[in-house]
Structure 1
Amino acid sequence: MKPQYKTWSAHKIDAMKVTRPIETESFPNAKFKVARGSTCQAYEFTLTDMPCLNPNDSIVLYNMLMREKDKYEPVMSYLQVMIKSYIQEVGSMDVDIATVLKKKKADNCS
């Protein structure tokens, strides 16, 4: 997984290509190459780097993949599992944070 500063960008993704699937022992992965902004700078990342992308990039990539769903079907199923797992983890963290904040608020009020 790349550090967030190497994958997160405010520049819009204009083009995307799935360069190849990556076989691993534990889970299927895929490599993406995207072009960003007016300079069309190229960036590469994998599905495991997805949590480090800004949320808009994840939505843009998903929509681009959906336009050619038949072509990218294996990648789509991996991406859906990744997004569901990520959303579940974020939701779990939100519950933990809310619990801590409620406890602190109750401690301060007593």
Structure 2
Amino acid sequence: MPLAEHTGPVGLRIPGLYRRIKTYELAVSLRPDPRLVIGDVSAEERAALASQAYAPTALNQVESLRHNLPVTVPRWYIGGRSYPEVNGWHPYDNRRVDLFIVFPNDDISPR
């Protein structure tokens, strides 16, 4: 389990994590807002939804991802089978930490 290099709280590095998050979130953000497709919305609400720069995503941090800035992710976003590297890492396993910061160099740190 590679440790992170930044000087903040003890971190972990998962190679490719930031890129995977960025790729997924930006793809979702460019899709039409689902409320426009399946929702029964008024004309005013439809106009407001259609004028959004991006569709809603799980993180709602599209601008940070576009500019390669750190993003905050909830615990569930990095857990499970998708990123098994976090299992055994104390900040993740103790369940007291609900949010993590993911840096563009793939370091993860508790928030």
Q: Which has the higher contact order (CA 8 A, sep 6+)?
A: 2
Structure having the larger proportion of residues in strand? 1
Give the TM-score normalised by structure 2: 0.24
Structure having the larger proportion of residues in helix? 1
- Structure ID, larger Rg: 1
Give the TM-score normalised by structure 1: 0.24
